[in-house]
Chains A and B, each alone.
Chain A
Amino acid sequence: MKEQIQEILEEARRSIPSCESDKDLEELRIKYLGKKSSLSDLLSKIGTVPKEERPQMGALLNKTKKEIAQLIEQKKLKLHEKADASRALGLDVTMPGRPLPVGAKHPLYQIWEEIEDIFINLGFEVAEGPEIESEYYNFDALNTPSWHPARNPQDTFYLKGGKLLRTQTSPMQIRVMEKFKPPIKIISTGRCYRVDKMDPSHLPVFHQVEALLVDEGITMSDMKGELDSFIKRIFSADTRSRFRPHFFPFTEPSAEIDILCINCKGEGCKLCKNSGWLEMGGAGMVDPAVLEEVGYDPEKYTGYAFGLGIERIAMLRYGISDIRKLVTNDLRILKQFQ
């Protein structure tokens, strides 16, 4: 029996590699491994073998079957490779390659990172703070008078228990100044909240970046220069900014920042409502009362602060006209920002 097995194996070793097609190979598989194959036949006759040789013979049969199965498998792969290769002869390079996924950061967060990086390069440190704030940090310490309309529940979200959601990132300025001595050169970034109905230009949840620099001898020129270099980096080198007198409780003098319309460069267009300028945010020299509140000597130290809306910057950069597009999370939008 041993010789017979050996013979079958030898034959298989010769015939399988020389086989040319899947069909022929399948025939060979049936011949060697099928139910009616000579190996199966031998297996059924194992009872005729002397008892002491039986296990040995069984093992040999199994081993042989395994090897033949392996040979067939290898040949199959080879035949397929050939098929692939022959297809390659008529290679179609326009057919898609194996797709590897590419996702995207949300456009708002892409701009947020870019803003952070610009300020980091300008030497600012990044501070984050709580969104759930006390009235003290959000209003009192920032010199907001008790009659100021921003304190109204029509404008500010109050929580059960008395706290509120910060309406700006400025409370972080107070927290940092309380903790550290000048020089201070930080930006604070993050989510802010105001009670606003959602419409094309308002969301109750938005993001701000605010810069604060306090040291000896800081002037309004420093503020204009630093803001300008930021504006030029985030938009383009020919973008200019201007300051208009305004009122904020925590800065004096206070100003609103306009930039030259990035669309029409001042000519007047739909984006800037024909004014040639786009409103960007607020700025000013830190009010001495704010410095005093955190224990700085306002005679010795001066500083500036300016705040910008991240959604606003993202909308201008990408040409998005409805702020709500930034919270729909529609893949048809997100896929544009890969």
Chain B
Amino acid sequence: MKISYNWLKELVPTQLNIDEFCEKLTMFGLEVEEVVQPGKKLENIVIGKVVSVEKHPNADKLSLCKVDVGGDESLSIICGAPNVVKDILVPVAMIGAKLGDFEIKKAKLRGVESFGMICSEKELGVSDDHSGIMIIKQDFEPGTPFADAMGINDNIIEVEVTPNRPDLLGMIGVAREVAVMLNTEYEHPEIAFEESEVQTKDEISVIIEDAEKCPRYCARMVKGITVQHSPEWMQRKLVASGLRPINNIVDVTNYVLLEYGQPLHAFDYTKIKDKTIVVRTAKDKEKMMLLDDTELKLHSNNLLIADTEHPLALAGIMGGLDSSINDNTKDVVIECAYFDPRNIRASALEYGLQTDSSNRFERGMDPNGLIEVIDRAAQLIQLTGGGEISSGVVDCYPHKIEPKILTLRVSRANSILNAKMSVDEVKNYLNNFEFSTKKTSEDTFEVTIPTLRPDIEREIDIIEELARCYGYNNVESHFWINRIDNKQKRTVVRLTKNHLISLGFFEVNNMSFASPDDLDVLKIPENDFRRKVVEFANPMGEQFSIMRSTLIPDLLKNADLNLSYKFENFKLFELNRIYLKEREDTFAEPTYLTGVIVGKFDPFYWKEEQRATSFYDVKGIVESVFSKIHCSKNITYKVSNQPYYEEDSAADIFLDEKKIGSCGIMKDDVLKSFEIEALVLLFDIDLSNIIPLYNEKAIRFTEIVKYPPVLRDIAVIAPSDIEVGEIEQEIKSVDPNIIKDVQLFDVYTGKQIKQGCRSLAFNITFQSETSTLTDKYVDKLFDNIVNKLSLEHQIELRQE
């Protein structure tokens, strides 16, 4: 629903600026969807006074006007409208103003310059009138902004009214809600008029045949009116709320609809046969012609407003064509009724007629608010069209609908909201909502719910209203989660374990105890951190005299055991803590991931010969773990000199500059100490430093590059002491933005290759994020790579 902030302020005084107001309204439950400032569109449009009008020298239909717009000099403006004359006030769009997409610029019309445009009402969006320029009747200083003069400097607030709140479909309902929100008062319009001596009941009678579908029907008469334009203030409010002015009678019904939310209908009195309105259901196959020229074929569930012979309107949805107001209408019957929401919904749905009227009736209007509404309509019809208001309302209301009375326990409300509202506070909130209260005990109220609030049916519904007053954001939050949880570690541990398992590893579980001999067997030097062991004061024997400071010995014992059970090729890992003594009584318990690959890496396959395992198998495992837990970028490898690896067969692993582990082929004599004769590859990684780096929230989507990659191979002869990793880096460094990937795909040493060198072949991916790469450009980069490798590293392109 659209709310004019200016109009609202007439009903509820508030000093809040529009942003503050909207924020409050949203937090109170009336969600603001959009705020539109119609005045914004009218910038650079001002009131001008036409000082002189002359004929255009070169065109009959154009006039050359001088217009005073408040500046030192009058503007020369060419105008084509027939109604432009001297001394009138007109809206002037000055240079720079925008009318829709059309920007006003200095223009030359038939050889004469024009510095602006005098506008019609249609051009300004005020009405549909384009017969001539708009003439402003009130008095304004030339130069006054048009939006100010017209009162269009408003904020139109579009709010989402939830379907349970039909009372908020009118300005007064909104004002009532805002008054509660601001803890203030709001005003009803003042309704006062004189009634003629003619009694309404002598002019018109109402018969309700189906009181279930129409519980109440009120009618009033205004005689001797003139159908004409409605006054400007009314038109302005209609436009602001998104309605189009038509004539004073239709405009009044629409205006009252905007005010009260209650739909009205006006009939031409002379069209009502026998001065009798009959509210009845349609006969089967009865026909009627609607206002919009469509003919309906009705049936017995449709409720009609009829006279003694013909239908006048499809109740609550749309009027009939025959009885509608026309320019010659003199006497008007105003209808104000309460219809059963279910019936309206069914009929509206059936005929696809979702009108302003049906939308409101099907949510449930206030059956007890009709008299105020019909009086308001009579008052406004008289005000805008003259005539005489007949005396009294014909009010057909067979069974009065009584307000609901509910019991509210203050303690219950407080316990649901975890609030401490006092009894008085609660009473005040309820009374602001116009719920009357009777205190029935220290803790309870009897609350009378006005019929305008069909949504309040139970105690809990009242408590919801109290919650809104109390403020959802003032409810204390009582939280459990996200203070202690070790989710990061749990995630890394589980990812790692699941990954290794799908690579064929079995997890083992060894106890935390160890013997100092284990460290000797691994040849771990005296100054190694793993020698800082945690010792028992009361060990369970020499075999268990320390806490283990490495997981390696246990895994080798597990390997030995399983080899003895005739398993030849298998992979084991353990992910557990090790224990280190830092100082006399401070200890560290870092989490380690240690694994062994025993025998052949690939499972046996009848179709192929089983491949020999190499260092690169264990390195591949390690690399895949790191990429699974998102830290590959920080990892580097250097040749290891751990004493339990074969020479030149192992790497130390670094996280940035810190050594966090190693992997490689285990030394034969170390394995012999564990009675192992098979080939064993080992990895041993401290996860403690990696876990804190894991951040699943750091994963961000990057747009797929829409330009195709270019692939090129390069084969080089490089001295064997230059590491492949270094060459890859060197290649990338030529243009890191374009060279996306460098992949080694062939290594060869042999007769054809110079002694001390090896042949390396790489696949290079070039890709730009901003354009398609040309062959020429890639050729250039390729040459740069070749030059760089040869000049700086004596790496030569391999000749075919």
A240: interface (CB < 8 Å): no
Q: With A and B bound together, what is the CA distance between A106 and B509 in angstroms?
A: 7
Q: Which residue on A lies nearest to B509, using beta carbons? A: A106
**A126-B511 contact in complex given A329-B572, A331-B570, C-beta closer than 8 Å:** no
**A and B contact pairs by CB, cutoff 8 A, 22 listed:** A96-B605, A101-B504, A103-B506, A105-B497, A109-B509, A125-B483, A126-B484, A126-B486, A127-B484, A128-B486, A159-B547, A161-B581, A161-B585, A180-B483, A180-B484, A185-B480, A191-B577, A205-B512, A327-B511, A328-B561, A329-B558, A334-B506
Binds A, one of B270-278, B535-543, B739-747: B535-543
Residues of B near A326 (CB, < 8 A) are 509
**A126-B538 contact in complex given A103-B507, A116-B490, A331-B565, C-beta closer than 8 Å:** no
**A331-B484 contact in complex given A105-B497, A132-B587, A158-B536, C-beta closer than 8 Å:** no
**A98-B500 contact in complex given A109-B509, A160-B535, C-beta closer than 8 Å:** no
Residues of B near A159 (CB, < 8 A) are 534-537, 547
Residues A73-98 near B (CB distance < 8 A): 95-96, 98
Are A334 and B508 neighbours in the complex by a CB distance under 8 Å?
yes
Are A99 and B497 neighbours in the complex by a CB distance under 8 Å?
no
**A132-B513 contact in complex given A123-B480, A157-B538, A335-B506, C-beta closer than 8 Å:** no
B510: interface (CB < 8 Å): yes
Q: With A and B bound together, what is the CA distance between A104 and B497 in angstroms?
A: 9
Are B502 and A103 neighbours in the complex by a CB distance under 8 Å?
yes
Residues of B near A328 (CB, < 8 A) are 561
Contact of B484 among A109, A125, A130, A191 (CB under 8 A): A125
Q: Give the Cβ gap from A16 to chain B, nearest Cβ, in Å.
A: 23
Are A95 and B561 neighbours in the complex by a CB distance under 8 Å?
no
Residues of A near B558 (CB, < 8 A) are 329
* Residue with the highest number of chain A CB atoms closer than 10 Å, among B484, B497, B503, B547: B484
Residues B600-624 near A (CB distance < 8 A): 603-607
Residues of B near A163 (CB, < 8 A) are 585, 587
A183: interface (CB < 8 Å): yes
Are B562 and A162 neighbours in the complex by a CB distance under 8 Å?
no
Residues A102-159 near B (CB distance < 8 A): 102-106, 108-109, 113, 116, 123, 125-128, 130-132, 153, 157-159
Residues of A near B536 (CB, < 8 A) are 157-160
Residues of B near A101 (CB, < 8 A) are 503-505, 571, 603
A268: interface (CB < 8 Å): no
Residues of A near B605 (CB, < 8 A) are 96, 98-99
Q: Which residue on A lies nearest to B559, using beta carbons? A: A329
Are B483 and A327 neighbours in the complex by a CB distance under 8 Å?
no
Q: Give the Cβ gap from B592 to chain A, nearest Cβ, in Å.
A: 14
Q: Which residue on A lies nearest to B567, using beta carbons? A: A331
Residues of A near B581 (CB, < 8 A) are 161
B589: interface (CB < 8 Å): yes
Q: With A and B bound together, what is the CA distance between A195 and B541 in angstroms?
A: 11
Q: With A and B bound together, what is the CA distance between A332 and B604 in angstroms?
A: 18
Q: With A and B bound together, what is the CA distance between A98 and B606 in angstroms?
A: 8
Residues of A near B561 (CB, < 8 A) are 328-330
Residues B57-105 near A (CB distance < 8 A): none
The list of the 7 closest CB pairs from A to B, nearest first, reads A101-B504, A329-B508, A99-B603, A125-B485, A103-B501, A205-B511, A106-B507
Q: Give the Cβ gap from A163 to chain B, nearest Cβ, in Å.
A: 6
Residues of B near A105 (CB, < 8 A) are 497, 501, 507
Besides A176-B484, A195-B538, 17 other A-B contacts (C-beta < 8 A): A98-B607, A102-B502, A103-B502, A103-B571, A109-B497, A125-B484, A126-B485, A127-B484, A128-B486, A130-B589, A157-B536, A157-B538, A195-B540, A204-B544, A205-B511, A331-B567, A334-B506
Q: Give the Cβ gap from B302 to chain A, nearest Cβ, in Å.
A: 54
Contact of B585 among A103, A125, A162 (CB under 8 A): A162
Residues of A near B577 (CB, < 8 A) are 131, 191
Q: With A and B bound together, what is the CA distance between A96 and B1 in angstroms?
A: 70
Q: Which DSSP category, helix, strand, loop or mixed, fits chain A's interface?
A: loop
A interface list, Cβ under 8 A from B: 95-96, 98-106, 108-109, 113, 116, 123, 125-128, 130-132, 153, 157-163, 176, 180, 183, 185-186, 191, 193, 195, 203-205, 326-332, 334-335
Contact of B509 among A103, A132, A329, A331 (CB under 8 A): A329
Q: With A and B bound together, what is the CA distance between A330 and B558 in angstroms?
A: 7
B579: interface (CB < 8 Å): yes
B interface list, Cβ under 8 A from A: 478-487, 489-490, 494, 497, 500-513, 534-538, 540, 544, 547, 558, 561-562, 565, 567, 570-572, 577, 579, 581, 584-585, 587, 589, 603-607
Residues of B near A116 (CB, < 8 A) are 490
Q: With A and B bound together, what is the CA distance between A116 and B494 in angstroms?
A: 12
**A99-B604 contact in complex given A125-B481, A132-B534, C-beta closer than 8 Å:** yes
Q: With A and B bound together, what is the CA distance between A162 and B583 in angstroms?
A: 12
Q: Give the Cβ gap from B148 to chain A, nearest Cβ, in Å.
A: 57
Q: With A and B bound together, what is the CA distance between A204 and B480 in angstroms?
A: 35
Report how many A-B pairs have Cβ atoms within 8 Å: 139
Q: With A and B bound together, what is the CA distance between A162 and B585 in angstroms?
A: 7
Q: Give the Cβ gap from B586 to chain A, nearest Cβ, in Å.
A: 9
Q: Which residue on B lies nearest to A197, using beta carbons? A: B540
Are B489 and A204 neighbours in the complex by a CB distance under 8 Å?
no
Residues of B near A127 (CB, < 8 A) are 484-486
Q: With A and B bound together, what is the CA distance between A108 and B507 in angstroms?
A: 10
**A106-B508 contact in complex given A113-B494, A186-B484, C-beta closer than 8 Å:** yes
Q: Which residue on A lies nearest to B601, using beta carbons? A: A101
Q: Give the Cβ gap from B472 to chain A, nearest Cβ, in Å.
A: 21
Q: Which residue on B lies nearest to A207, using beta carbons? A: B509
Q: Which residue on A lies nearest to B490, using beta carbons? A: A126
Contact of A191 among B501, B512, B607 (CB under 8 A): B512
Residues of B near A128 (CB, < 8 A) are 486, 489
Q: With A and B bound together, what is the CA distance between A162 and B577 in angstroms?
A: 21
Contact of A153 among B483, B509, B538 (CB under 8 A): B538
**A102-B534 contact in complex given A163-B585, A180-B484, A334-B508, C-beta closer than 8 Å:** no
Are B507 and A109 neighbours in the complex by a CB distance under 8 Å?
yes
Are A183 and B507 neighbours in the complex by a CB distance under 8 Å?
no
Contact of B562 among A132, A153, A330 (CB under 8 A): A330
Residues of A near B483 (CB, < 8 A) are 125, 180
Are B478 and A183 neighbours in the complex by a CB distance under 8 Å?
yes
Q: With A and B bound together, what is the CA distance between A128 and B492 in angstroms?
A: 15
Contact of B512 among A96, A131, A180 (CB under 8 A): A131
Q: Which residue on B lies nearest to A158, using beta carbons? A: B537
Q: Which residue on B lies nearest to A311, using beta carbons? A: B509
Residues of A near B500 (CB, < 8 A) are 103
Q: With A and B bound together, what is the CA distance between A128 and B489 in angstroms?
A: 10
Residues of A near B481 (CB, < 8 A) are 123, 125
Q: With A and B bound together, what is the CA distance between A95 and B540 in angstroms?
A: 52
**A327-B509 contact in complex given A103-B503, A126-B486, A130-B589, C-beta closer than 8 Å:** yes
**A103-B505 contact in complex given A195-B538, A331-B570, C-beta closer than 8 Å:** yes
Residues of B near A204 (CB, < 8 A) are 511, 513, 540, 544
Residues of B near A205 (CB, < 8 A) are 511-513
Residues of A near B510 (CB, < 8 A) are 327, 329
Are A100 and B489 neighbours in the complex by a CB distance under 8 Å?
no
Residues of B near A329 (CB, < 8 A) are 508-510, 558, 561-562, 572
Residues of A near B606 (CB, < 8 A) are 95-96
Q: With A and B bound together, what is the CA distance between A162 and B485 in angstroms?
A: 30
**A203-B511 contact in complex given A127-B484, A131-B577, C-beta closer than 8 Å:** yes
Q: Which residue on B lies nearest to A157, using beta carbons? A: B536
Q: Give the Cβ gap from A15 to chain B, nearest Cβ, in Å.
A: 27
Residues of A near B570 (CB, < 8 A) are 331
